């Protein structure tokens, strides 16, 4: 189970290969990749900067991964989240979940994305033309995370 917070891009295929290598128990791998969109509320986005809270980010992501492991029988789990300046089309986040069967992998992946969006301390700053705007949290993201509340 691995959590990485980094400025650099990542290679999804290479990470998937590493996660599953040598474990023939794994029958299902689900990956989620989040990308920078080039629009927000009908306005064009030229650039985005992701700020984070070093230390707490890793701590919260690790706690979320531990929670997923408690809930589903996972054979592998990786979360990579980038920070710093990004442009439309750039990868922001990668979540890979491996399990013996697909249901656990699908559910755990969705859970991890829903929870990291509402719990991991990252903040998006969007730039449109000369304007900069801090992205506001969405009620729909809170609702998605709340589905998994026990």
Chain residues in the site for other proteins (CB under 8 A): 34, 50-53, 55-56, 59-60, 81, 92-93, 113, 116-125, 134-137, 141
Burial of 122 (0-12, 13-18, 19+ CB in 10 A): buried
Task: Tell the smallest beta-carbon distance from residue 25 to other proteins (Å).
Answer: 29
Task: Tell the smallest beta-carbon distance from residue 13 to other proteins (Å).
Answer: 21
Judged by CB, which is closer to other proteins: 105, or 120? 120
Q: Which two tokens stand for residue 86?
A: 């990004």
Encode burial over 123-144: b for 16+ CB neighbours within 10 A, e otherwise: ebebeeeeeeeeeeeeeeeeeb
Judged by CB, which is closer to other proteins: 131, or 136? 136
């Amino acid at each position: 189970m691995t959590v990485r917070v980094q400025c650099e891009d990542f290679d999804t295929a290479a990470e998937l290969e590493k996660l599953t290598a040598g474990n023939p128990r794994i029958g299902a791998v689900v990956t989620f990749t989040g990308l920078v969109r080039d629009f927000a509320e009908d306005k064009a986005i030229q650039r985005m900067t992701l700020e984070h809270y070093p230390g707490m980010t890793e701590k919260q992501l690790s706690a979320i991964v531990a929670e997923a492991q408690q809930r589903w029988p996972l054979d592998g789990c990786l979360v990579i989240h980038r920070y710093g300046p990004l442009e439309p089309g750039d990868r922001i986040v990668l979540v890979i979940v491996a399990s013996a069967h697909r249901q656990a992998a699908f559910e755990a992946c969705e859970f991890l994305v829903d929870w990291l969006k509402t719990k991991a301390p990252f903040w998006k700053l969007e730039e449109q033309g000369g304007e900069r705007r801090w992205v506001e949290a969405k009620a729909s993201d809170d609702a998605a995370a709340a589905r998994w509340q026990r």
